[in-house]
Amino acid sequence: MTTNRIERHHYDVVVIGAGGAGLRAAIEARLAGKRTAIISKSLFGKAHTVMAEGGAAAAMGNVNSNDNWMVHFRDTMRGGKFLNNFRMAELHAKEAPERIWELETYGALFDRTKDGKISQRNFGGHEYPRLAHVGDRTGLELIRTLQQKIVSLQQEDKRQYGDYDARIRVFAETTITELILDGDRVAGAFGYRREDGEFLLFEAPAIVLATGGVGRSYKVTSNSWEYTGDGHALALRAGANLINMEFLQFHPTGMVWPPSVKGILVTESVRGDGGVLKNSEGKRFMFNYVPDVFRKQYAETEEEADRWYTDPDHNRRPPELLPRDEVARAINAEVKAGRGSPAGGVYLDVSTRMPAETIIKRLPSMHHQFKELADVDITKEAMEVGPTCHYVMGGVEVDPDTGATIGQVRGLFAAGEVSGGMHGSNRLGGNSLSDLLVFGKRAGEYAAAYADSLPARPKVSQALVDTAVDAALAPLSRDGENPYTLQQDLQAVMGDLVGIIRRRGELQDALVRLAELKERVAKVSASGGRRYNPGWHLALDLRNMLVVSECTAKAALEREESRGGHTREDFPAMDPNWRRLNLVTSLEGDEVLLSRKPVPEMRPELITLFDRVELSKYLTDEELAGFDALAEEASN
């Protein structure tokens, strides 16, 4: 029988999350000489990052030497509809190449160009081929490489100290349920080990959140059970802010058939490599959905689009490569107009576009996945795809340079999908993997520096630990509802009312229902014991999912415009005044508070990287006047 004994550990830096961001942060903290712990809900090496397919964006210029950080920066801002934290976008564009090259020194094997450099591929929203990749299993390569780098650091420690775990240790299948504070400083993290249900307390002055996203609150999602918004909720409860929570990315091309694999993604590179979207009438419909802001960059005829694949310098891009929110919306419109496939999606076809061998060579795991899961041979027939909840742009508000969270708490850092700001209202494909590396490294570095700067370690109070223990045990002794039912109800609310297309009435309705669910979740019960009991685990995750869903619904109701990953049917246009505002959510007691905060203004040398014509689609007249003044100054 399990006990209430608590296993205590002391570290300098605790990293919650073993995806790309968490592992990179941990490596950096360890390299800075800090004793570092990595905590992960699943086994080491299984984090969500393994699922990323397409690649990692970095302006190395290996395939097209015109590429550089400025072009990448521009693409990122454009993709995020200028709502991005410009400083994050700048750091990301500048540092991504170094981070990718570094992976090679850890043993990564990317696909190569003819002259032996890292090959780069096209992806929606990126002007040049920019994504470093390994077939279509780039995320696996990334995580395995970081995992193996950690092993190599452990081997070093073993040689030096006689113990693999001397300076960096992985706690797999361990879930953190609460952060413990000492005043306004982080003092530790409390959680349970899945295997035996025993509790653990990690005392540490600095904590890095790298827990990924929130997609599990949606019915059709590409995300795994881990994505219950734990990091978002932990940050909120510790006093940090979330921003941009209304922006969720719905991937345009998730599998919609067969039913059991609904939500699994078909990588965007299928389109980058020549795949086209067709409706039930066999028409390539994307040409009808090129928004004005993109008109100049995209082909108008099928002939021009097709020439682009072989001669990208003299032709415009095919509209299939529009940013993914445009593609998602187009598919949604086609389905609503009755031109969808039987399963409610559209067709993505590569089979008529290139020979079977080329498809298998370029998209090996896609081919494999469709064959094994759906018994569909993508070299012979089209795939059935539709929008799927995929990524949350919003997240913990952080200082761009250090990853330190903004709000009422010190010593808390965040990186990766759990953090917000970098991607603005919409993330470009491939920008996440590079984001993980760039900001994971920074968070690890600054968390280590912060730990060093403290004169004394914050103290963990027993009372707070006892509260955390009680909260964790509560569902096991209560007599209430089954957590699975509650999760399904939550998914229905979010999927139906706070989904890809939103309306005021529905959002209000959603908030009412979320309030009801909150009461039911407070009484959730789990049968069975503490050993590896998924029902209990879900019961504990539910309260995180709920508070994060509430932030999303509140922010979605507040933002009366459509931009990137937030589409309001009642406010279909982008509004330059809204571009200047971030929506910030925080927690007071268990009340979600919402406030508005200005988006930081780009520095002159960055804003002048853009064309005035382009800016005029996003900026207010007042801002444009400021831009004109800058331009004039520059020409004098």
Nearer to ligand FAD, 136 or 334 (CB): 136
User: x-or-dash pattern for ligand FAD, window 130-169, by CB under 6 A?
Assistant: ---------x------------------------------
Please report, to the nearest 10 degrees, the dihedral formed by the alpha carbons of residues 435, 437, 439, 440 taken in order.
130
Structural element, H or E, at residue 421? none
Exposure string over 507-543, b if 16+ CB within 10 A, otherwise e? bebbbebbeebbebbeebbbeeebeebebbbbbbbbb
User: What DSSP character marks residue 597?
Assistant: E
- Beta strands of 292-428 (E only): which ranges? 346-349, 383-392, 395-397, 412-414, 419-420
Within residues 376-435, the interface with ligand FAD by CB under 6 A covers 390-391, 416-418, 429-433
CB of 170 to ligand FAD, least distance (A): 10
The full 3-state SS of 459-470, as one line of letters, equals: CCCHHHHHHHHH
Contact 549, 514 (CB under 8 A): yes
Per-residue CA distances from 583 to 97, 241, 424, 499 (Å): 31, 10, 12, 18
CB of 520 to ligand FAD, least distance (A): 22
Q: Which of 74, 137, 271, 324 is catalytic?
A: 271
CA distance 89 to 562: 22
- By CB under 6 A, is residue 39 in contact with ligand FAD? yes
Nearer to ligand FAD, 396 or 602 (CB): 396
- By CB under 6 A, is residue 48 in contact with ligand FAD? yes
User: x-or-dash pattern for ligand FAD, window 567-606, by CB under 6 A?
Assistant: ----------------------------------------
User: x-or-dash pattern for other proteins, window 516-545, by CB under 8 A?
Assistant: ----------xxxx-xxxxxx---------
Nearer to other proteins, 373 or 515 (CB): 373
CA angle 92, 418, 514 (to 5 degrees): 145
CA distance 269 to 253: 11
- 579 tagged catalytic: no
Q: Which does 55 bind (CB under 5 to 8 A by kind): ligand FAD, other proteins, none?
A: ligand FAD
Within residues 456-495, the interface with ligand FAD by CB under 6 A covers none
Within residues 87-146, the interface with other proteins by CB under 8 A covers 97-98, 101-102, 104-107, 109-112, 115-117, 119, 134-135, 137, 140-141, 144
CB of 71 to other proteins, least distance (A): 19
CB of 524 to other proteins, least distance (A): 11
- By CB under 6 A, is residue 42 in contact with ligand FAD? yes
Interface stretch with other proteins, choices 15-23, 148-156, 298-306, 448-456 (CB under 8 A): 148-156
Nearer to other proteins, 70 or 261 (CB): 261
What is the phi/psi pair of residue 198, to 5°?
A: -75, 155
CB of 465 to ligand FAD, least distance (A): 17
Count residues binding ligand FAD (CB under 6 A): 44
CA distance 580 to 143: 36
Neighbours of 172 (CB within 10 A): 17
CA distance 95 to 114: 25
Token readout for 486 is 């509650």
Token readout for 507 is 């959002």
Among 7, 8, 43, 625, binds other proteins (CB under 8 A): 43
Amino acid code (one letter) for 474:
A
CB of 575 to ligand FAD, least distance (A): 28
Nearer to other proteins, 52 or 206 (CB): 52
CA distance 49 to 46: 8
Among 258, 282, 355, 572, binds other proteins (CB under 8 A): 258
Contact 241, 406 (CB under 8 A): yes
- By CB under 6 A, is residue 19 in contact with ligand FAD? yes
CA distance 206 to 299: 50
CB of 101 to other proteins, least distance (A): 4
Q: Which residue's structure tokens are 């590396």?
A: 437
Contact 468, 4 (CB under 8 A): no
Residue with the shortest CB distance to ligand FAD? 19
Alpha-carbon torsion 323, 325, 328, 334, what sign?
Answer: negative
Among 12, 127, 230, 334, binds ligand FAD (CB under 6 A): 230
User: x-or-dash pattern for ligand FAD, window 51-90, by CB under 6 A?
Assistant: xxxxxx----------------------------------
Q: Which of 72, 126, 167, 251 is catalytic?
A: 251
Q: What is the distance of C-alpha 84 from the center of its chain?
A: 14
Q: Which does 104 bind (CB under 5 to 8 A by kind): other proteins, ligand FAD, none?
A: other proteins
Within residues 353-382, the interface with other proteins by CB under 8 A covers 365, 368-369, 372-375
Among 11, 16, 38, 42, binds other proteins (CB under 8 A): 42
- 612 tagged catalytic: no
CA distance 131 to 138: 10
**Which positions are catalytic?**
251, 271
Q: Which residues bind ligand FAD (CB under 6 A)?
A: 16-22, 39-42, 47-49, 51-56, 139, 175-176, 191, 210-212, 222-223, 226, 230-231, 265, 390-391, 416-418, 429-433, 436
